[in-house]
A and B are shown apart, each in its own frame.
Chain A
Amino acid sequence: MKSAPEFQLALRSAVRRQKLRQAARLVRAALPLTASLAIVGIVLALVAPQLFAGSARLTLLILALGLLALLLVPVFRSMSPIQAAKTLDQDLHLPDSALAWVQFSDSGTWWDALRAETLGRLRSAVSPTLRSDKNTLILAMILIVTLLTGSWIWIPSVPQGSSGVTMPADLTSLDEVLEDWSAFAESNPNRAGNEIKEAAKALEVALQDREADRSNLLVRIATVEDRLQANLSSLDSLQSLLPALAEALSADPSQSSPPPSASEALDKLAAQLPADFTPANASELEELARQLSEAGHTELAEALKALAKSTDGKQAQDALKKLSKALSGAEALADAKRMMELAMMQLAAAKEGTGSGSEGALSMLPKLSDSGNPGSGAGSDPDFPESKTVRALEAAPLLAPVTSANQSAGEAQIQVLPTAEGLQESPTRAPTSTAVSEGPLSEEAITSEDLPVVHRATVRRYFESIRPKTETP
């Protein structure tokens, strides 16, 4: 008797409406608090971004999610039959008819009369659909606005580990970066290699533990790049010493077309050395070795020393091979620097989220794993030349003195080539001076570009992180 479908349906409907009403009431009550939190968050993000970073962001996000969960509690809370009956009575303006229904025993003539009376009232009651829809609409709108506002304010600040959508693409690229670094470190068991290896390991741990966000990754990569920059600056001295090396080797400078790399040139040169070859100027080579040793290139220095002390072609070949190997390590150092620059550009592009999102931005850039494949994929992008080209370009000043060989004579002829045009030309101004002038440009770009206000500080930090720390005198 009591399970009249009409009554049960009305009861369930009333319960649903009541839950929505309670949730809407809570949302309305929590609006001032939520708005205050949002304002505080925006102000912090704009005024004091350093206070609005790291674990503070996560804490605030957890608070926001907790608040949201609190608002949804009434929706999932069960109601007793008496409460449901009261709700139905209130919704349909019934004089406690539903309450009497659920509290009466379902027998006797009075129950029959009450049942008929209540069902009659239910049928003639004004439908509260309009009120219910209004509440539902208010609740839905408030929730949507809250979520949108929250995602704009909080979600970009979350460590990427908590986002399961965009992180895998970033991780893939970063994994490739780390693989390249590891390969470089294994092929170069020197100090620079060890530093790269340690940096790669630290980054890998940070990525696995998801303890670092994009900004932290950028800073870490920039730090490693600074170390590499310091190492490469020492290579400049090697570059200035190579003419002396060429002169010391007394090679025939008739070869005009440079080979793709210094190490390959040296390998080729070693193969062409006559059996009775002795260095023409051993003392200059030893001086060169000393200078390289002081610059930290112990492997190169050892190879040069061995070359200076060679007494026949066989020893000279071995020494040249060692020199070639050491040079390839130095070139890899340049490659690593380039890789890190590309990684930073990738991360910066992904961070900005331009175009169709971070993944789209990443796809615009060359894949680091493709850097060793000339002419393939993104390596053909003129803005991001392939690694081989980069290697050749960077090695060009090194190669010019040592790679010219007289093919017809069958004897290595070392010649210092005149300074070439274009890419082989020495830079007209130092990189650091460019970076100094880059400051105002970057600031102008930050203000002129359509960047979210809360992200400007991040972009500014990125520019600062990639700027060299020392100025050219």
Chain B
Amino acid sequence: MNSADPSFANEFREKIRRLETEVGKVIVGQDKILEDVIIAIVAGGHVLLEGVPGLGKTMLVRSLASALDLSFQRIQFTPDLMPADLLGTNILVEEAGSHPRFEFSPGPVFCNLLLGDEINRATPKTQSALLEAMQERSVTIGGKTRLLERPFFVLATQNPLEMEGTYPLPEAQLDRFFFKLRVGYPDRTAFEEILRRTTEPNTTTIQSAFNDAELNELGDFAKAVPVPPEIRSRAADLVMATHPETSSASASVKKFVRYGASPRAGQALLLAAKIRALLQGRFHVASEDLLAFALPALRHRVLLNFEAQADGIDADVLITEICEEKSKAWASL
């Protein structure tokens, strides 16, 4: 398949829908979250899922791994978790007839899909161990760099309620997450369905939608979607609007934002927008694609100041305000 061939778009949509269908066999009431996670995975990004316990975050990641036929590892982040527990370490191996030697024992990070459960419970030292893995798709241990498998995704979860004994993720690591998704409660119908499925004998099995190679192919195809210069300019406009030092920033941004979103936010916006455009049957990116991903791509990259925290201002509020302003500005001729 030629990744630049638009005729692949139908197959692209078909595969994504098939994946959604397979995961949907298990996950109920989280369609938007599921779609966003899939989009992030196709784009090759990591996802931070934030939500109260019991909403199926871990189940969602497990189901995805099953449907994608990917190697899956789960780590429960705890305060005493060490980087070596995550990345692996060199251990001394003594074999008969030979000198003892160090042999690398890979950690759980050597997989396709890593579920970091309650990632904010680990110390910053351990959290930072993932920085290289998330960005470079490699780990360096004992002076030796080892490449991770392709594809490699980190799907982390965190609980926003229990803040005691937790360590907020460092900005550098937050920025490496493609999306930060807030998992909310399902609606009543979905809730009833969840009760039915989980309290009755369930023989549902998840079939593989496509393999890792196909996933890489989907990602490459999505990157080929053209973006009109005007839309690219709007993506930059959206990201720049979160920077309090720019003249185009709103009064709220100047008052409550300490640091704006990084260029990774713009990359995430455009990549996600391309995939959404294909899923919507378009061969170009539109403004609505950018706005659709403004919250998941920007909310964890906008660092609020103390005044915003004191006033209870959430990043989502500011980003929504920015989106409304930009939407009006783009609509005006």
A residues lining the B interface (CB < 8 Å): 18, 79, 82-83, 86-87, 90, 95-97, 99-100, 103-104, 108-110, 112-114, 117
Determine which of A83, A95, A109, A117 lies in contact with B333 in the assembled complex, contact meaning CB atoms within 8 Å. A83
* 12 interchain pairs, CB-CB under 8 A: A96-B228, A96-B230, A97-B284, A99-B230, A99-B231, A103-B229, A103-B230, A108-B4, A110-B4, A112-B6, A113-B7, A114-B283
CB distance from A26 to the nearest CB of B (A): 14
Determine which of A79, A82, A83, A100 lies in contact with B226 in the assembled complex, contact meaning CB atoms within 8 Å. A100
B4 x A104 contact (CB < 8 A): no
B284 and chain A: residue at smallest CB distance:
A100
Give the 10 A-B CB pairs with smallest separation, nearest first.
A113-B6, A95-B286, A100-B284, A96-B286, A103-B228, A113-B283, A100-B228, A114-B283, A83-B333, A110-B226
CB distance from A109 to the nearest CB of B (A): 6
Chain A residues with CB under 8 Å of B96's CB are none
B231 and chain A: residue at smallest CB distance:
A96
Chain A residues with CB under 8 Å of B331's CB are 90
Determine which of B9, B228, B289 lies in contact with A104 in the assembled complex, contact meaning CB atoms within 8 Å. B228
Number of interface residues of B (CB under 8 A): 24
A113 x B228 contact (CB < 8 A): no
B residues lining the A interface (CB < 8 Å): 4-7, 9, 224-226, 228-231, 280-289, 331, 333
How many angstroms from the CA of A79 to the CA of B333 in the assembled complex? 10
- A109-B6, A110-B4, A113-B9 given; A96·B284 CB < 8 A: yes
How many angstroms from the CA of A245 to the CA of B225 in the assembled complex? 118
A82 x B230 contact (CB < 8 A): yes
How many angstroms from the CA of A424 to the CA of B90 in the assembled complex? 145
- A100-B228, A103-B229, A104-B228 given; A18·B333 CB < 8 A: yes
- A103-B229, A110-B224 given; A117·B4 CB < 8 A: no
Chain B residues with CB under 8 Å of A83's CB are 333
Determine which of A82, A95, A109, A112 lies in contact with B280 in the assembled complex, contact meaning CB atoms within 8 Å. A95
How many angstroms from the CA of A86 to the CA of B281 in the assembled complex? 20
How many angstroms from the CA of A96 to the CA of B230 in the assembled complex? 10
B226 x A104 contact (CB < 8 A): yes
How many angstroms from the CA of A29 to the CA of B284 in the assembled complex? 37
B287 x A96 contact (CB < 8 A): yes
B224 and chain A: residue at smallest CB distance:
A110
How many angstroms from the CA of A61 to the CA of B6 in the assembled complex? 62
Chain A residues with CB under 8 Å of B284's CB are 96-97, 100, 104, 114
Most B CB within 10 A of own CB, among A83, A96, A113, A117: A96
Chain A residues with CB under 8 Å of B286's CB are 95-97, 100
CB distance from A82 to the nearest CB of B (A): 6
Known: A100-B231, A100-B285, A109-B5. 10 other contacts (CB 8 A): A90-B331, A95-B282, A95-B286, A95-B288, A96-B228, A96-B286, A100-B226, A104-B284, A110-B283, A113-B9
Determine which of B7, B224, B229, B281 lies in contact with A117 in the assembled complex, contact meaning CB atoms within 8 Å. B281
How many angstroms from the CA of A104 to the CA of B229 in the assembled complex? 9
B280 and chain A: residue at smallest CB distance:
A95
How many angstroms from the CA of A82 to the CA of B9 in the assembled complex? 27
Determine which of B6, B230, B281, B289 lies in contact with A110 in the assembled complex, contact meaning CB atoms within 8 Å. B6
Determine which of B5, B224, B225, B228 lies in contact with A99 in the assembled complex, contact meaning CB atoms within 8 Å. B228
Chain A residues with CB under 8 Å of B5's CB are 109
- A83-B333, A95-B288, A100-B284 given; A109·B228 CB < 8 A: no
A87 x B333 contact (CB < 8 A): yes
How many angstroms from the CA of A354 to the CA of B331 in the assembled complex? 54
How many angstroms from the CA of A114 to the CA of B286 in the assembled complex? 12
CB distance from A119 to the nearest CB of B (A): 12
How many angstroms from the CA of A82 to the CA of B280 in the assembled complex? 23
CB distance from B94 to the nearest CB of A (A): 60
CB distance from B289 to the nearest CB of A (A): 8
Chain A residues with CB under 8 Å of B231's CB are 96, 99-100
Most A CB within 10 A of own CB, among B5, B228, B282, B284: B284
CB distance from B282 to the nearest CB of A (A): 6
CB distance from B88 to the nearest CB of A (A): 43
- A95-B280, A95-B282, A95-B288 given; A109·B4 CB < 8 A: yes
How many angstroms from the CA of A271 to the CA of B289 in the assembled complex? 115
How many angstroms from the CA of A104 to the CA of B281 in the assembled complex? 18
How many angstroms from the CA of A249 to the CA of B288 in the assembled complex? 114
How many angstroms from the CA of A24 to the CA of B333 in the assembled complex? 15
Chain B residues with CB under 8 Å of A103's CB are 228-230
B234 and chain A: residue at smallest CB distance:
A96
Chain A residues with CB under 8 Å of B4's CB are 108-110
CB distance from A124 to the nearest CB of B (A): 12
CB distance from B207 to the nearest CB of A (A): 31
CB distance from B240 to the nearest CB of A (A): 20
How many angstroms from the CA of A109 to the CA of B4 in the assembled complex? 8
Chain B residues with CB under 8 Å of A97's CB are 282, 284, 286
How many angstroms from the CA of A95 to the CA of B330 in the assembled complex? 12
B331 and chain A: residue at smallest CB distance:
A90
Chain A residues with CB under 8 Å of B224's CB are 110
Chain B residues with CB under 8 Å of A82's CB are 230
CB distance from B121 to the nearest CB of A (A): 42
How many angstroms from the CA of A86 to the CA of B286 in the assembled complex? 12
Chain A residues with CB under 8 Å of B287's CB are 95-96
CB distance from A98 to the nearest CB of B (A): 10
A109 and chain B: residue at smallest CB distance:
B6
A117 x B282 contact (CB < 8 A): yes
A108 and chain B: residue at smallest CB distance:
B4
Most A CB within 10 A of own CB, among B224, B282, B283, B331: B283
Chain B residues with CB under 8 Å of A95's CB are 280, 282, 286-289
A21 and chain B: residue at smallest CB distance:
B333
How many angstroms from the CA of A210 to the CA of B273 in the assembled complex? 69
CB distance from A226 to the nearest CB of B (A): 65
- A83-B333, A109-B6, A110-B4 given; A117·B283 CB < 8 A: yes
Chain A residues with CB under 8 Å of B226's CB are 100, 104, 110, 114
Chain B residues with CB under 8 Å of A99's CB are 228, 230-231
Chain A residues with CB under 8 Å of B6's CB are 109-110, 112-113
CB distance from B313 to the nearest CB of A (A): 32
Chain A residues with CB under 8 Å of B281's CB are 117
How many angstroms from the CA of A239 to the CA of B67 in the assembled complex? 129
A87 and chain B: residue at smallest CB distance:
B333
How many angstroms from the CA of A86 to the CA of B333 in the assembled complex? 7
CB distance from A83 to the nearest CB of B (A): 5
CB distance from B111 to the nearest CB of A (A): 35
Chain B residues with CB under 8 Å of A87's CB are 333
Most B CB within 10 A of own CB, among A82, A99, A100: A100
B6 and chain A: residue at smallest CB distance:
A113
How many angstroms from the CA of A104 to the CA of B6 in the assembled complex? 15
B225 and chain A: residue at smallest CB distance:
A110
CB distance from A250 to the nearest CB of B (A): 101
How many angstroms from the CA of A96 to the CA of B229 in the assembled complex? 12
How many angstroms from the CA of A56 to the CA of B333 in the assembled complex? 38
